[in-house]
Structure 1
Amino acid sequence: MRIPTVGFEFGVLLQAMGVLGLLGVPARAAIPACLKTVELSCLNLAANCIDTVNSGAVNNLWGIKSCVAAATCYGVGDLITSVECQTGFTVTNAAQSSLDYTTIYAGIVGSCAFASGGCSITQQNYVDFYYGELTAVSSSNFPSSTAVVIALWNAIVAWAATGSTVPYLNFNDWLHFSSFPSTTTTTAPPIASYTEIYWNPNPAPPSGAVSETFVQSSTTVIIAIPTTTTTVVIGGASITLAPGGTPINGPLPSDPNIIPPTSVASVTFTAPPSFTTIVPVPAASNSPPKNITGPPGDKNSNGDDWWLLLFPGIIAGLLPLDIGIIGGIKPTPGLPPGWTGPWTDPDPTTTISASASGSPSGSSCPRPTSVYALSDDSENADWEDNGDDPDRRRNTLVARASPRFITLPICGISKQNGNVVTNPSAVSLGAGTYYSIGLKAAGGVNTVLNSIAVGGRPVGNGPATVNQEHVFELGYIKQFFEALNGNGIPCTWILDNVYNRAGWDGATPWALSLLLDIDQVVNMVWVDKPLNQAKSNVVNQDKQTAADPPQRSNMNNIADVTPGGTSVNLIQDVEYFARNFAALGGYFGATAATFRATALRVQNRLAQITPDTPAVNLPVQFNNWLRGLAATYPAGCTSRANNVFNYYANKMTTEANLGNNGVVPQCFPLYHTGNFIPPAPTLPLCNIPGTQGKIHFGQDPGGNPELSFSTFRILGSGRTDFYALGLGADFAGEHFIAEDLTTLYSACSGVWAIGVSSTAVPASTDAFLAMDCAGQTGNQVTTPITFVVNDQVLDCVTINSELQGTAGITIYIICAGSNAAATTCGNGILQTDPQGHFLTGTLQFVPT
């Protein structure tokens, strides 16, 4: 039987021809040298964790069950060190995403995770999770006794110091800040993590931090974040802290310093307008300190023009007022909330000279204010009366506590008619995840979205600037049934079978059940107001045109572009909004799991309904509708963000021409940076990732087609120009790679052998897929293909080999910068395989 294939037989051919090793993906399987010696069941978990991690998920370890289980026995710090060794990437504890609540934490504690207030992990929960994960990874090794596992749990309990159980936030903190196991176990609260905003001599802890650490010489003081005015005394120096932890009695004394993130290898110092210096952190406590110098002529309060960086990132000497550390938090100028005693502004507003060519002489740039004040677009003031508008909860205490509701005005369900579907309970978010690009007062052009776990509503950019936000919106229920009605399903059918019909309990209407499936804490996150405003425009499908972009009415109010003009705060708000809009795609991606889990609850609820007449398959139609809706979001985010920036830039230019000699000062960095939206992807529009098919290698001398026995999958590669191709579920698994044949055959200089294997191969690299759709779309397009190595699109030839000892027929793919080079190399290889021959025709991908 002739069985053309690619895979194992391909490796056999390479060995028979003298090629060393099997082709494979470097560092995909766990490298033994990267693993430490531990008890075998723990080693199985750590190896599975590393097998599962790919280069794109190094900061999402706590979204992988085996990694969470491995951390509890292998040690958080040691596991991250092993991941670094495996991937070659720099990985930090603090950079890890929060523990997956829906899939992992809820899987540990059970259904009570979704009850009001949630629930904590018990010892039995942890033991069940540990053994369950060993079974899930098909481990052949288990602990010698449950006492071994209980000892691991006891170490976590001791660290968390929350009694005999561990709540989600504390376990999440343990995953981010512990280094267990170690020679000692600490019960001190974790050191605060920091977002990427400037630090000054009076830093404030980030929202979500549970403690502050102060250091002076050999003395360390750790306190919980204070809720009342608190004085810390260390080494004879007194530091008064406002509620929330911001120092308030002038700049800190020169010795105490708040420690930067403990895992960093270097600290970046900045000063306006463009000074930057990066200083390596000394490697050990006995390493000599590193000198730090600021901009020329800059002096700290001690009169020195330099200071010292000590291990592990502690600063000796007081920084000049205009020097910042990336990785800290700058306190908001102004009286701390609730403070009634004496207060010294820790960071008075300063100005920097404008450096733009043509800027008015002597102009200066005011620091951005802290409070964000842009009003919502009128279209989103209340999303068509569905009770889901954040501003209603944002502006009044009464409305914030009011139950939410859904409407369907097209069928008479409306506030006006007084028959909205209302949740009998008010659901409010407390502890949760907070998404932010950083404080407005930091300025700049950053659009990187970060997430942190918080214990309650964050402060954000001032009062009423952080919203509790549904990831999966209540308004989708209204939109879905409006779409059904538009496709011919009458209101009487929708009302009789969903809105007015009781469910299986005989009392709760299906529409209320759908509302309750969505209006849950697990479906809520905290977001900054401008991010919420941006999302509203996308999910509500409004503000779509370049002539009427989001926030158009506010941008129209810009009238003075001078640094001291009346519009300066408005301009800074607009730039902050535009940067949040650019981060919206990241938000959709980061919350996809929550969106999917909530949508699944809704879909399952619709699957419970048995209508009077089979007019529509509700769960099927809902899934189709939701896919179509979500498909509009990427382009909707990008186009609206572009439209906002272009409208803003045009408005600024127009106003400058009217009153500032055509010059927009450098005070507004986003205007001068240019558009921040990346180029559109150039990926093929046919056979998108997930498409399965076979490879047609060409025809043999008899004209017979050679088709692969294996079925391959088009894979997302992490690039926006080429896909990949492989046998695994995604790019982290088996996929095509290229091995350099230069040193193996004299005729093969600069030529690559392309194949699939799970074993690492020397001198190999990823091979991406180039595919010519010829203007066609869809996932059933037979397309010519070739491979891309080191960003070079290659020409490929194929060899049919029937070497003695191989099973069936093996196909050998040879690729080079030109067809002539690939053919020359192929002829050289065929000298060792007299039964082999070239195939004719082109390589093709044939969907199945």
Structure 2
Amino acid sequence: MVVPPLASLVPVNTSLSTAPAPSSGVASASALASSIGQLFTLVPPSPSSVVTSASTVASSTRWLPANASLGAKSPTLNKRAAIPACLDTVELSCLNLAANCINTVDSDTMNDLWGISSCVAAATCYGVGNLITSVECQTGFSITDAGQASLDYDNIYAGIVGSSCAFAPGGCPITQQNYIDFYYGTLTAIDTANYPSSSAVVIVWWDAITAWAATGSTVPYLNFNDWLHFSSFPSVTTTTAPPVASYTQITWNPNPAPPSGAASETFVSASSTLVIAIPTTTTTVVIVGASITLAPGGTPVNGPVPSGVSQPGATTPTWNPNIIPPTSVASVTFTAPPSYTSVVAVPTASNSPPQNITGPPGDKNSNGDDWWLLLFPGIIGGLLPADIGIPGGILPTAAPPAGWVGPWTDPDPTSSSTSTSTSSASTSASSSSSCPQPTSVYALSDDSENADWEDEGTDPDRRRNTRSKVAPRADPRSIAVNSCSLSVVNTVAVSLGPGTYYSIGLKALGGTGATLTATQVGSRPVGNGAGTVAQEHIFELGYINQFFTVAINAGITCAWIETNVFNFVREDSSNLGIALLNAIDQVGNMVWVDKPMNQAKSNVVNQNKASAASPPQSTNINMITDFTTSANLIQDVEYFTRNFAALGSYFGATAATFQATALRVQNLLAEITPTTPDANLPVEFNNWLRGLIATYPTGCTSRATNVFNFYQAKMNSVSATIGAPVPACFPLYHSTTYNPQSFAWANLIPPAPTLPACDIPGTQGQIQLGLSTTGTPIMAFNTYRIMGSGNTNYYAFGDGASLVGSHFVGQDLSTLGPSCQGVWDLGLQTGPSGNPDANIALNCNGQSGNDVAAPFTFVINNQQLGCVTLNSGVADGGGVDYYVFCGATVAAAATCATAYQQANFPQGSLLGGSLQFVP
């Protein structure tokens, strides 16, 4: 069967040539000849020099941007902020140097760390081996200390010791003062506000270097260079800061409290028994000659009850009197009089081993131990000695015993005064029947920072009007790059009807639960009232703005984004900006959630309200003034706080949808062939998303904890102001089991692209077709372009601007006979066709950048093929025709090509060597 030629395969000279007629009597060769079009025409400068040398041909046709010069580097997106998970916990100035170092390293400098000042300075305090491990974690590169280039003598070493000294005969070594000046000078250069507490801290690191080098009190260049390559100096995980004068003294009175609901309480000694009614005011009783002061409710105060006095039926409160360290800190400072100070790094992950801490010599806690533990994320295990303080810490409020109902009085009050208001408040809160009935409607407003990227508020199907009120949306949604004033608006409004409803239950039910359940509903649920249930995008529209804002910060221009992304024309002639929006704004990426869950998620996604001093909903929490008129506000706050505790479960439950949507976006970005090779968008997107979502688990739990602590502190403040205990009406306040939920963030991330690291889409160059029989490289004269293919494993290839233009495809030659089973005829074609695209697999050989000469193989239907090139030996229009055959193996391709050559071009030959892309 004769297969028609690939009609639109365009040779270099733009005319489609057909193969010469075969000799008579070769039927299979005739069929083969009529089906294969010449692929390349090599057009030499003159008939006598078809090929000179690869370098000559390449340099004469090398592509350069109009505004670039040879060797110019294009800005990349791979310089992003240091990933926290890639950093060790060390002294703060050292941590800033390490973060600057790993954020500076890119593909051009990964083996030249000692040419970057912050990397050299960081190595001295952070440790060479640990720094390289952190750089590998950040970049994904494989790096060794021995593989690093030598320390930059001219730009770094000479700056340390001084130019006049460095370039004098014999040079000169580094002194201790040289090192101190270099360390502090590098901190100034990176514009950090964090410096060592004293030069003594820096001298400790210098002493470690001199001890390793064994060259006395100074270190020459060669020895310091050796130290950078072979020391693997360990990091410093704890440091001792100067004494901090202030400390917090813990006081606690663990006296028994009468059982809940009791009408009387009993005191028994060896000689007498005393029974009194539960007092409603501060009361004093006398037994065995000793006075006992009782707080309203009957708990003894002002010291333990006398020895030998018992209280039948009473309950001793249990409480961990440890100070709560400040939240979201990398280290905790412990102090004790007169001068004890210890700064201890907080473990960085839930599976990190706890830090074991020993207090001042001879110091004991109530358990008789002289040690305690610091656990992730700042929790203290074991009791602290009574004289240990934590500057900036929080004194916890005593909680009632487990199962307690009714009123609760702190057994360690700051005052024993009697007041009518205290008595009245205590009496009014004596039973749950006095608690106001919760309203069904949830009414907390959004945090002001959560207007979101398109002024939508936290409900994506409701829009804010000019007076900051929220009204139902009537218009389609959009994606945008706000700093560029770029946006794409959907052509239709997308609304969720039947779908999954994630909820912890209605506000009116109250309680302390934060268990998330999923329910299938046919339309918007009623929830907690009108406008309190939102249709929520799982993968947010705003991620487009966030991603390209990072790109702009890395050097990509608004014009580049507009041309190469929002206005990019896909292979089917549709618009990529609209495709990105439609990939996100669809019902498959939506669920129903209660408004407080959506508000909580907005804080995490917008990365705001992360401070313990100003947590989510702090504005509304601060509006609490008492326990009666503010009761509904308090119930709203407790409902919001419980939803925040369930946010981790929400992320975990919707992970598959998030990943699928992110993958759609990633694949669309993989279609792009930019006009200039400034960013490998699918790779950068995956890296950016991975770094962002990795912060979410801690972002959820820390914010939820901050809200709970802030709320409890506010309630305590109100209680002290009005002189009344916090009623049992507010169960979350009294809860001792508030546990914000985390999730496995990696489940949200699509598989990372395995695209080659070199010659990214937009890179232009030539093709080396192979080697002649004399070993001369044969270069195609045309200019070709690496293209986005929509495939995250392989690039497309052609001589057009993108897949809309001319690019390589394959025509199946299997119908031509046994010699060509599974073999493809490669050629150029414009736009979509019935033929599969022929992508390429570049072999970067560990190199990166856009000037790498890389061998490649063609890929059809995700199968890498073996290819051979046929030199027909026939001139056509001043050039020579070349054909590329590809099969499952090089041998299979060669069998087909040889049959064609023998039948049609006896003067021709197959080229040796492999295909190579030469920028």
**If the length of structure 1 is used for normalisation, what is the TM-score?**
0.36
**If the length of structure 2 is used for normalisation, what is the TM-score?**
0.34
Bigger Cα Rg: 2
